[in-house]
Chain A
Amino acid sequence: MKFQYSVEGGDFTMAGHASSQVKKSLKQLGIDSSIIKRVVVALYEAEVNIVAHAYRGVIDVDIESAGIKLKLTDEGPGIPDIEKAMTKGFSTASAAVREMGFGAGMGLPNIRDNSDRFTIDTVVNKGTVLSIEIDFK
């Protein structure tokens, strides 16, 4: 089962839309709720990262019998130092974004902690691709 969602940078009103849709689909499929919880956390954080940091992006969701694959491809500034970005508490979010309670420097660590496989491919000044896989068993 495949879905695609587009995400606009800066549009926080729609942040979480894809996560909410995917959550509904997984529920309908009867996937274990502890798995759904992990998918929701990882996808929400990745979705918000596009809104907070990139210009636009696309989320590809692939639900198979063994698990879910999420690919988030954005056009944006890229991540100059992935190690730093993976450090809890480090964030480059703007003051306005932080004021809303985003940009706590917990997004990427949250994704890592809730996924079975997680990779970041990034090119500075071009964009970033996150691949997240979560197994159903």
Chain B
Amino acid sequence: MKIQDLVDSLGLVVFTGQTLLDNEVTGGYTSDLLSDVMGFAKEGNIWITLQTHKNVIGVASLKDLSAILLIKGFEPDQDALALAEKEDIPILGTKMGAFEISAKIYNLINS
């Protein structure tokens, strides 16, 4: 499944990475703990979190994640946005909470 498919199906906001939406999503990982993501997220995962600072971009880049999805209407910090553009990491957003959006993405990927 492509990021674009998730954006279209779930009405996600695209904060940055409009040109990267053809990237393949291999699965998802939902966590607000950076070491948890560092240790256990897999390449190509979409990372669902409420953390908005630039270290999130660093982790996503190091782990080759496909995108970051901010929940509950959170928006990325300015320096996070700038780094995401540089590192080619799409940042998406939703008004939904982590439980709801994770379930929806899980169902879409596994349907």
Query: In the complex where A12-B55, A16-B55, A107-B35 touch, is A23 in contact with B79 (Cβ < 8 A)?
Result: no
Q: Which of A12, A13, A110 contacts B35 (CB 8 A)?
A: A110
Interface residue ranges, A against B (CB under 8 Å): 12-13, 15-16, 19-20, 23, 37, 40-41, 44-45, 48, 100-102, 104, 106-107, 109-110, 113-114
Residues of A contacting B53 in the complex (Cβ-Cβ under 8 angstroms): 12, 100
Q: List 30 A-B contacts (CB under 8 A).
A: A12-B55, A13-B54, A15-B55, A16-B59, A16-B62, A20-B61, A20-B62, A23-B62, A40-B63, A41-B38, A41-B39, A45-B35, A45-B38, A48-B35, A101-B32, A101-B33, A101-B34, A101-B49, A101-B51, A101-B55, A102-B34, A104-B34, A104-B35, A106-B38, A109-B39, A110-B35, A110-B38, A110-B39, A113-B39, A114-B39
Interface residue ranges, B against A (CB under 8 Å): 32-36, 38-39, 43, 49, 51, 53-56, 58-59, 61-63, 79
